[in-house]
Structure 1
Amino acid sequence: MKRNISLLDDCKSLFQFINYFKRECPDIVHGNTPKGAFLSMLAAKLTGISIRIYMCHGLRYQGSQGGMKVLLKLMEKLTCLCATRILCVSAGVKKTLIKDSICKQHKLNVVFNGSANGIDTSYYNREKLPDLNIWKTKLGINDNDFVYCYAGRIVKDKGINELVNAFDRLQQILQEKIHLIIVGRLENNLNPISKETEEKIKNNTHIHMVGLKSDVRSFMAISNVLVLPSYREGFGQVLVEACSLGVPCITTDITGCNEIIQDGINGKIIPPRDENALYKMMKWFYDYRDDKVKIMASNARPTIVKRYEQYKVWNALLSEYQSLFS
């Protein structure tokens, strides 16, 4: 499959799915991501597979406009129509599917407390990480510096323009005392950040663009706060990862994120697309780094262990699968 919409390529992928399902005759087809779920659910319906599960990670149409939004919404409706069961990664996703008349409530379920896979808290454990001073030294970060971190795709809808601008404003006041680590791949082909933001990242020695990493733990762990100022999410897995490492978060009041972060407990919630609110909150974290932020850091890991421990999510998913055969 190709990620972007392409009528010819998508038709080819659909026929490949149909041929594969005819040959293998699976009992269950479980589809993920907008494109993967759309094609697999449609093919499974056409080939008569009785159990068709769509794992809805988020709603892509929420970040689109005009004709593209109409098309993506129609694809979402068709996916849900072809599926026999829709598992939502958050209560917010479920609520939106109902509110936007995408799917009837009886097909929808949120497994455990949400997420697609939970989190292995033994892996995302600060105590099991190697010496973090190695990365601090490489990036030129001193022990008394305050570090903000972002991890994810570097695109406009993740709030990168607002994040870099807010950091730039804050740095004008605090000078050399703060750093911003950006972990992820710059994507210029779809939903790119502004050229001005790219220039600010390139020219600021306290903004560290480290690229795409298979292991983000050390970058999160050397940070005082993770910032995810996204416009839309289905869940917000990086928030779970950061909190599991004992790092509080700043995030936006959007689907999924406002379920993981409990305002004032393990982080803070701000409005989306609001650079000024983000700037004020980033400054608040610096100002209260020795008391209120430390309390939120101590709360961060327990909130995740309780709600998203992986084996608990897996057991709940197993029960969901078993219930489909009863």
Structure 2
Amino acid sequence: MFTKIKIIRTATIAMSLDYLLRGQLKYLSQVYEVVTVSGQDEHLVNVAQREGVRTIDLEMQRPISPLRDIISLWRLYRLFRKERPLIVHSITPKAGLLSMIAAKMACVPIRMHTFTGLIFPTRKGLIKNILILMDKLLCKCATNIYPEGQGVKNDLLKYKITSKTLHIIANGNVNGIDLEYFSKKNISANESIKLKSDLGITEKDFVFIFIGRLVGDKGINELVTAFQKTEKEKVVKLVLVGFLEDDIDPLRPETKLQIQSNSNIIAVGHQADVRPYLAISDALVFPSYREGFPNVVMQAGAMELPSIVTDINGCNEIIIEGENGWIIPIKDYNAIYDSMKKMMEDSHLRAYLKNNARPMIVSRYSQEVVWKALLAEYQKLEKNV
């Protein structure tokens, strides 16, 4: 009887497996025995049911937590010794560090990590040095390292995190975009009309949307400040899709007050399906301080939205200045305001950006392209063992 080669995919929290690798695990399981490892919650249940793969509950902490991290490391080591995978492939920072150390200790032949983003470039002082050392240790224990995009690769080289070869899968991004799913044709006119009515949005309103965690690092403080200037001049709404993380990166009190009290700012919380909200919007604003390769910018493009993004990793690869959106400096609310104002006022330019948005995603980031490239990478490494 033919036995499939085993691959273990790890992530710090199961939501990363659920959202970032949607469909990919099922695709890979046609060729390999795929096992996923993360803390048990509804997202890990979703992965098991949707992807048809075995899941293992193993808790890992996102913040630095020495005692708990040592416990997680030991549990990973014992798991890898028991399961004997050919490949361990991690995403997210903490899972990457612990998985690569444990896999090396357990003599796993192929140890892969995908950097979906780097935290240390936006930090200072001692914490920055600690984060750099952690990433260097991760890379030392890994056999193969994959930046999610060119910007992440450049930072890994700039800070001399590793001397190992860095390889980007396909054109970047961990999973590509499901272009059938993220398509305006899936959202009916009646559905959009009802959602607008429910949210208090009129046909005269110009709608900007942000999707992501409502935290400082995502540029929410600057976005809300810029929006307050914008709404004084135009009939405009700002839809915020995402949850607060006050325990990790709280917003300024004045920003939270605006979100709660300003009737033109519509916070709808986390949404499992963001497509209806993209469908009723005119443009995405994504003023994040750091990213690896943001899915939301690709999703917005697939839904035919032009984007205003900051000049950071991933964003400045997906968005081509003046073609499918604009790129602005980070932490600059005036730049956000100017771009939002121009987006509203210049209808001809906005139409040009909109018409380019989906084709530019289709040509570079379709899911099929990414999945086939990753499968080919696994098969190449397998042959070299």
Pick the TM interval, shorter chain: over 0.9
Considering only aligned residues, what root-mean-square deviation do their CA atoms show, in Å?
Answer: 0.9
Alpha-carbon distance in 2 for matches of 1:217, 1:40? 34
Residue 310 of structure 1 pairs with residue 363 of structure 2: no
Return the structure number with greater relative CO, CA threshold 8 A, min gap 6.
1
Alpha-carbon distance in 1 for matches of 2:225, 2:140? 42
After superposition, give the CA deviation of every residue in 1:135-187 in whole Å (9 maximum; x if it has no partner). Answer: 1011111112100000001110110000000000111122xx10000000011
> Which position in structure 2 is the counterpart of 1:58?
117
CA contact (8 A) 1:18 1:46 kept: yes
Q: Deviation of residue 295 (structure 1)?
A: 1.3
Partner letter of residue 221 of structure 2? N
Alpha-carbon distance in 1 for matches of 2:212, 2:341? 22
Alpha-carbon distance in 1 for matches of 2:291, 2:138? 19
Alpha-carbon distance in 2 for matches of 1:173, 1:305? 35
CA contact (8 A) 1:63 1:157 kept: no
For residue 327 of structure 2, the aligned residue among 255, 269, 275 is 269
Residue 251 of structure 1 pairs with residue 331 of structure 2: no
| TM-score, scaled relative to structure 2 | 0.83
> Which position in structure 1 is the counterpart of 2:221?
161
Partner letter of residue 132 of structure 1? S
Partner letter of residue 47 of structure 1? A
Report the identity percentage: 45
| TM-score, scaled relative to structure 1 | 0.97
> Which position in structure 2 is the counterpart of 1:151?
211
For residue 26 of structure 1, the aligned residue among 58, 75, 85 is 85
Residue 9 of structure 1 pairs with residue 43 of structure 2: no
Q: Deviation of residue 107 (structure 1)?
A: 2.5
Alpha-carbon distance in 1 for matches of 2:139, 2:286? 29
For residue 336 of structure 2, the aligned residue among 260, 278, 299 is 278
Question: Which aligned pairs between 1:99-178 and structure 2 lie closer than 5 A?
Answer: 99-104=158-163, 106-130=164-188, 131-174=191-234, 177-178=235-236
Q: Deviation of residue 96 (structure 1)?
A: 0.9
Alpha-carbon distance in 2 for matches of 1:190, 1:65? 17
Q: Deviation of residue 63 (structure 1)?
A: 2.4
> Which position in structure 1 is the counterpart of 2:22?
none
Q: For 1:242, what is the secondary structure of its paired residue?
A: helix
Q: For 1:127, what is the secondary structure of its paired residue?
A: helix
After superposition, give the CA deviation of every residue in 1:206-265 in whole Å (9 maximum; x if it has no partner). Answer: 100000111111111111000100111111110000000001100011111100001111
Q: Deviation of residue 61 (structure 1)?
A: 1.1
> Which position in structure 2 is the counterpart of 1:291?
348
Question: Which aligned pairs between 1:62-101 and structure 2 lie closer than 5 A?
Answer: 62-101=121-160
Partner letter of residue 209 of structure 2? C
Question: Which aligned pairs between 1:192-231 and structure 2 lie closer than 5 A?
Answer: 192-231=250-289
CA contact (8 A) 1:86 1:109 kept: yes
- Number of corresponding residues: 322
Q: Deviation of residue 188 (structure 1)?
A: 0.5
Alpha-carbon distance in 2 for matches of 1:88, 1:315? 17
After superposition, give the CA deviation of every residue in 1:92-116 in whole Å (9 maximum; x if it has no partner). Answer: 1111101110012x43100110000
Q: For 2:382, what is the secondary structure of its paired residue?
A: coil
Alpha-carbon distance in 2 for matches of 1:160, 1:250? 13
Q: For 1:325, what is the secondary structure of its paired residue?
A: helix
> Which position in structure 1 is the counterpart of 2:97?
38
Q: For 2:77, what is the secondary structure of its paired residue?
A: helix
> Which position in structure 1 is the counterpart of 2:297?
239
Structure 1: which 5+ residue stretches go unaligned?
Answer: none
